[in-house]
Amino acid sequence: MSTTVELTRFKVAPEKTEAMLAARPGMLADFRADREGFLGARLVRLPDDEWLDVVEWRSAADFAASRAKGGNLPGIAAFFATIDALVSAEEGVLAGDEA
């Protein structure tokens, strides 16, 4: 099985950035507790109030199951509530373990 990578680019208004970063640990804790196959995530700050969330899943099926749950827990919902706009969402397969 190949690791599935979720790439989600989104906008957060500058006045919500602090709240988004404060909500992040709760979202990750909820993912670890509730999302089968969640391997980890990295948040990248981009120019123009955009962010890229790079999330790794054990499989495409695990990612699909997570997507179906949406913001079902308070920590996840709090993080999602800070997002002003979805820019793009993509799914891929990890090609290698390069450092």
**pLDDT tens digits for range 23-41:** 999 999 999 999 999 999 9
Q: Please identify which residue in the block is written with the tokens 């640990």.
A: 25
Report whether 57 contacts 6 (CB < 8 A): yes
Q: In percent, how much of the chain has pLDDT > 70?
A: 96
Phi, psi of 59 (to 5 degrees): -155, 165
Query: What's the alpha-carbon Rg for the chain, to the nearest Å?
Result: 13
pLDDT tens by residue, 50-78: 999 999 999 999 999 999 999 999 999 99
* Residue type present at position 52: L
Q: What is the DSSP letter of 3?
A: P
- At 96 the pLDDT is 73
Domains of the chain in sequence order:
4-92 (3.30.70.100)
Cβ burial, residue 58 (10 Å; 0-12/13-18/19+): middle
